[in-house]
Amino acid sequence: MADGGTIALRITDLIGSEYSTNAAYAGDFINAAINEIADLLPDKLLLKHSKTPGVLESNSEWLVEDRKILQVTRIDADSGGIERACQEVNRGDFSSAGDSSSIYSVTNFTPIYHEDTNNAGAATLKILPVPTAVQKGKIWYFSYVADSADTTGITAATLNTTYYLPSTIIHAVALKSSVNLLSSYMSNSIQDDEDTEIVQMLTAQVASLQGQYEQEMTRFVGEKAE
């Protein structure tokens, strides 16, 4: 395998250049592989590699569209405050916690957050008690790779520095991308009534790569990943 090479080169090593040289074609399947793997990885691992957290300093909402929330915290005091982990709650509990006359009213020592949608239909996040300029709320997250992103040139290094994933996950990305690409090619072959022998060969290759992918992912999730 191309040590230190791009994801496109790694895919070429696995299934040949025909599937990895066209960025417009391969990119979508690589992006899907990255996002799927991110959903399988433990939040603790993603948190370790996450970017600078978002910040809330008022009752404003924080946009979470196309982001996976990993952890939310809030500082509990103006001076010498401690960063407290916020617990996620549902809409009803969040509403009750914001009522100062309710027995469920939240305190600085038991902060909470809730994901909802705003009037524009975008996913948002709010924190209670309402954060301030000093008692800030912080949101750690993973940003999913956009469909339009060209990821064919990523390396182990840029997977870490640009996409905030462990660099050691790149082989799993290459394997899953190859499975995605071959599965699409196999589907097209079936629809085009190509030689059944070719379809059988592709089926066997997809099964082999999927098995390798699942085995590779056990390094990160601790059990068989499908």
> For residue range 153-181, what is the model confidence (pLDDT) as tens digits?
999 999 999 999 999 999 999 999 999 99
Q: What is the mean pLDDT of residues 183-190?
A: 73
- Return the pLDDT at 90: 93
Q: Is the pLDDT of residue 3 over 70?
A: no
Which residues make beta-bridge pairs with 116? 124
Cα 95-106-117 angle, rounded to 5 deg: 35
Q: What is the pLDDT of residues 4-63, one digit of tens each?
A: 689 989 999 998 876 654 545 688 899 999 999 999 999 999 999 999 999 999 988 899
Q: Which residue is listed with tokens 């509403």?
A: 95
How many CB atoms are closer than 10 A to CB 142?
23
Q: Output b/e per residue, 48-87; b: 16+ Cβ within 10 A.
A: ebbeebbebeeeebbebeebbbbbbbbbbeeeeeeebebe
Task: Considering only CA atoms, give the Rg of the chain.
Answer: 22
Give the model's pLDDT for residue 44. Answer: 94
pLDDT range class, residue 98, cuts 50, 70, 90: confident
**Position 143 pLDDT exceeds 60:** yes
Distance of alpha carbon 148 from alpha carbon 108, whole angstroms = 41
pLDDT of residue 198: 77
